[in-house]
Structure 1
């Protein structure tokens, strides 16, 4: 009961702050006060508006809100999100535009389960939709999953990916972002041994901790500074009575959010102070830069305790993927068995979460894969977020990933995108070629 009480206490604090914000906004906006203008009331209303929005977003899953996409027919096509496979802990989601012809590239985006919803990759999805038929792993909030559904650890996560890849078939191109990179690699190796004909065509690993020891960061240092017992005592609680997952052991989203914010406390404090000032001056709006970022950043989800603890113990402490000793259901998954799937790694030179060296380590584990099917890219000046959703992704990395897909797909002639542009006698678009001082994609 102690941990259930602490979970409910956090929710009570959040709910109280949301109520205080809404109350302050309503009180300061009372029409009678307009007879006697008072700057203090304007600031009170501004604080209330920002506080209410901030604390209400913490327990709401953001909408995908995918805009219509342009197609070769010159029309914009409406996109709908459809569940293709439904599981207790996550779904396989398909972004469908029924009125357009299906693109030749079929992409599976593997979203991280690291505190935020899959909607964190919304801008990544939008950038790929014009050129690809996009699927994504849509993980569920553990607080909403009844205890009767059982456990969910990194082995279960891996087997979910195996099921999703098997369902989509061998023409699929997998792009794993951040946390799931090592497990996507393990899932591919699992298929290579158990069901080779179901392996994807290509695997792109973006900013993932394949070998956390290759380049230490605050994340890896923290993992080594605490014991598993300390970690369980500090981070794990039981879901309170409010949700369907009552009694399930989780790493709560609100606790994760507190950790995220504490890492850059001064930056976040200034961001919210500036936003309150903008609201008071009438310069803010629903979809300004601050709200667009924090509506997503503050929306957090609980992770199952066994998934969080097994990730820390087996990926960051024991380095099972880096040592090629990862097991699923008691059987070792040999990454060296991957012999046909082309693999590309992407890193950012300023990534402080998965530093350069951690992800590219995957290529050394692929002892059975010819060098012609390996590639790596280091994006100069890019941080963690930028390599999959920022300007670096849009301008440099995305075009390189699409070219990599084309060069290793049977249905697409090598250099398809480049030849198509040349045949059209049109200058290449800025988004179709790398620019700036980013490092070129390097074959291994």
Structure 2
């Protein structure tokens, strides 16, 4: 979800290539566009009951031949060796209906399921935790798909599903697919939960599908189940399936260093944290003259000391502000207007609350704690402090394991990029 300082304003690009997919025997035309998605890897099944919780897996490099490592030393300051992006490559089109082998297929959703399901499939509307657990045990399901309704409540249902499947050692479920509508943001956390579960339970294939056209939804789900080696899918308007591949960024050399305006204001949430202090130092070095630090706590002595030298070059103020509370963000906006500071041209959102844990140790309440500060805070800052002449919005995730927040912010950033 990180938006690179040095790559601000990067344009999306598309190209056609032919890609050899690793561990498969076909070539596909790769139609890809730059994306912020971080692709996950193919996990290998393990029969060991004492296997560790997290297991090392290889990255999907699309390389079927192993080559000798280069003896050339890697320059740690070379961005081309450090930054990666995801490309989406197209797969051969599937049929109008899924063609699957033996098994019991379940589709669940918080809304009524208005799809004509093939024989052997069952669709059930569910929104209660106990009801869901009963459904999962009433039959020896082998594949489960969840259709998102585009709301935050879907993330809660997904967490219940994953916890129930993970706890049941007798479960025959070997694949789970989460389907989200293209462009939805409130349910983007499903992708984060899926990736976390994939690390903790690699023996259960957990996949995500983003679709544009409901007409091809069932076929897309079927292709997800058929291609168990893949983790993430996109189904376009015509039902064509694309899968993610990781690659090094190729246009870094054309980027320029960040240069800021002296007649603009810049906001840093979580301004007294370690990341916030790094950000304020960078902004000053890049030319910022008006910087507001937002923090839930009053000025800390050690922070005051660090700001002494920086204040020789810029106006730096600390405002008491909990960005998860909209009224606090409105207060910060009013302060800027009252002090007649220049218009806000950039925001660095580092604020967050640590609420980490494995899938089984998570709850909807714990997820909401970090979600409120990180995601709701991002929304409030954007709503009240951004405008059409805005320059940048830099989002930093609090901790990598809370992937739900990161995925939601990623979707928000993609949406806001088009808005600006």
Instruction: Give the helix-richer structure, 1 or 2.
Output: 1
Q: By the TM > 0.5 criterion, same fold?
A: no
TM-score (norm 2): 0.23
Instruction: Give the strand-richer structure, 1 or 2.
Output: 2
TM-score (norm 1): 0.22
